[in-house]
Amino acid sequence: MASSIKEIFSKDNFSKNKKLVLLSATVALLLVTAIAGITVGASKANENGKRTLTPSSHAVLTSACISTRYPELCISTVATSGGVELTSQKDVIEASLNLTKTVVEHNYFTVKKLIKKRKGLTPREKTALHDCLETNDETLDELHEAVEDLHLYPNKKSLREHAGDLKTLISSAITNQETCLDGFSHDGADKKVRKALFKGQMHVEHMCSNALAMIKNMTDTDITNFELKAKFTSNNRKLKEETTVAVDMASVGDLDADGWPTWLSAGDRRLLQGSTVEADATVAADGSGTFTTVAAAVAAAPENSNKRYVIHIKAGVYRENVDVAKKKKNIMFMGDGRTTTIITASRNAVDGWPTFSSATVAVVGERFLARDITFQNTAGPSKEQAVALRVGSDFSAFYQCDMLAYQDTLYVHSNRQFFVNCLIVGTVDFIFGNAAVVLQDCDIHARRPGPGQKNMVTAQGRTDPNQNTGIVIQNCRIGATSDLLSVKSSFPTYLGRPWKEYSHTVIMQSDISDVIRPEGWFEWSGTFALNTLTYREYANTGAGAGTGDRVKWKDFKVITDAAEAEPYTAGQFIGGGGWLASTGFPFSLGL
């Protein structure tokens, strides 16, 4: 069976057979039942006559699974799949990922069945279930891409590039499971639907967690060995280049002689070098362009394009919700100015929208760029979660953009992201999510919230300690809007709180005004995550930057050594040296 799974998900067959694979529900259900019912150490032949693992394969499996958070699941899942020969940790990871894909298929059909057959679903529940279809579909693509990357490992790309890509893919897959379940957190009926999904989603999350732990163990070991070898191989140019660069676990590839990424097309390079950008489509509310809505322009853009597709959005107010789906790659939104080109809507939790679907603009297609635009949600402080911009696009960047809302303004959902010279305004948890994201030279302003509310600048959502995710705020200005300044003593404002168990946030080299309380940080609920979070501050200035009265949590720390802060720079944390130059936006790779 292992060989047939690999064949189905091969590079050539996956895209054209994806729908057929997803329709094979019976096969998926049988495999998932087999996986779920097994115990640790099952190495003998099962009732279906599958071949058992050889003693050597079982030894490799057991050794690989030691590094995982759920070792019993890791061993039992692969040991009972039958018919695989395991000679390395890489083999174990690939087998685990292929089996995980099968469970994702099962979850996908569970969601479809609920949509079709469950009676009495509210509009919110139906929307949340469709969000689950989207996140499960994205997970399937991410797992497939990870397997393809493993096939190439370690020779096609640098070790750091492989490590960064693999960890990002699986980190995003884990986040997607949480996102599905988060859509059912509002009332009693939601919780019943959540219960129907919980076991399957968590099964995938735990399997992905195991794969991520093994990937980290494998790549960390290989990089360490590579660097030790490099010290004694001074005449090898590539080795010298790799060792002179600081360890960059999220690197995204080689640069040519002029400092441009090697994957960047000649056309895109000319586009970025030019003083003006030529648009492929123009949106104008007054009818003077090729489209009158942004959504229509996105719908007409090519799918899976390797070439930058520029959509010029003329000055105007565009009252619509826009979805840049995963197949809409290399899209660029170019506005006429952050105060004149405005995309606005008002979806919100109180009116029945899950947080994920409340976004005015949602971006998933990779390598998305935007500049000189405002993304806005006008729902207001009484409407609870109401997202202005949600981003799940890998290698995405935003320049001179405004994100304006109240609770949950900017949803940095997943993958690698960069924001520079932007304005983010909000109240509760107004920069949140589980991307690997760096914000540089941004103005981050708390505003007056609703009665009894507290302002939280961040709410980072890392759920696994091995995820390469977190929020880094560097060289920014954290302050308040005028409506909050006069009443700031009535509405406490904090740098953040831990949304998920391994919440990871760093504020460094930024100006922090006295709108931030001396404690700096706030708990989510009692002692939840206070012993597992990672919160850091480094070299901040301003009236609110003093750390003498900061919280005394176990994993809050003030960094005093530049070397300890270096991993949080754009060059290392999001591998910016390999892709930020291609955006044409300003950036800093170091401290």
Contact present, 332 and 357 (Cβ < 8 Å): no
67 with 162, same domain?
yes
Q: Which of 207, 228, 249 is the last residue of a domain?
A: 228
Residue pair 315/337 in contact (Cβ under 8 Å)? The answer is yes
Q: Residue 249 has what pLDDT?
A: 38
Residues 416, 443, single domain; the answer is no
Active-site residue (options: 182, 372, 402, 429): 429
Query: Is 506 buried (19+), middle (13-18) or exposed (0-12) by CB count in 10 A?
Result: buried
Whole-number Cα distances in Å, 241 to 54, 88, 235, 237: 41, 28, 11, 6
Query: Is residue 305 domain-shared with residue 415, that is, in the same domain?
Result: yes
Separation of alpha carbons 429 and 408, rounded Å: 5
What are the CA-CA distances from residue 437 to residues 346, 471, 474, 568, 572 (Å)?
A: 25, 5, 11, 10, 11
Exposure of 485 by Cβ count < 10 A (0-12 exposed, 13-18 middle, 19+ buried)?
Answer: middle
Tell me what the pLDDT averaged over the chain comes to.
88
443 and 303 fall within a common domain: no
pTM: 0.88
Instruction: Identify whether residues 336 and 364 lie together within a single domain.
Output: yes
Any domain includes 254: no
- Does one domain contain both 407 and 344? yes
State both tokens at 498: 């831990």
**What is the pLDDT at residue 257?**
54
Q: Is the pLDDT of residue 507 over 90?
A: yes
Evaluate whether residue 469 is within a structural domain. yes
pLDDT tens digits along 339-377:
999 999 999 999 999 999 999 999 999 999 999 999 999
pLDDT tens, position by position, 164-174: 999 999 999 99
444 in Cβ contact with 420 (< 8 Å)? no
Residues 177, 285 within the same domain: no
Do 290 and 404 have their domain in common?
yes
Residues 201-220 have a mean pLDDT of: 98
Domain extent at residue 354 = 279-420
CB of 260 closer than 8 Å to CB of 582:
yes
C-alpha 30/C-alpha 564 separation (Å) is 49
Which 8-state DSSP code applies to residue 345?
E
On whether residue 436 sits in a domain, the answer given is yes
Closest-CA residue to 159 (of 228, 78, 209, 94): 228
Does residue 119 sit in the same domain as residue 195?
Answer: yes
91, 202: one domain = yes
Can you spell out the DSSP letters for 67-108?
TSS-HHHHHHHHHTT-S----SHHHHHHHHHHHHHHHHHHHH
| pLDDT: which is higher, 288 or 252 | 288
Averaged pLDDT, 559-586: 96
Say if residue 252's pLDDT is above 50: no
- CATH of residue 223's domain is 1.20.140.40
The per-residue pLDDT for 269 is 55
**Do 123 and 61 lie in a common domain?**
yes
**Which tokens in the block code for residue 110?**
């569970």
Confidence check: pLDDT of 27 > 90: no
Last residue of a domain, which of 420, 455, 489? 420
Q: Residue 46 above 80 pLDDT?
A: no
Q: How many domains does the chain have?
A: 3
What average pLDDT does the segment 507-517 reach?
98
Are 63 and 180 within one domain?
yes
> pLDDT tens across 267-321, in order?
555 555 544 679 999 999 999 999 999 999 999 999 999 999 999 999 999 999 9
Q: Is 91 a catalytic residue?
A: no
| CATH code of the domain in which 475 resides | 2.160.20.10
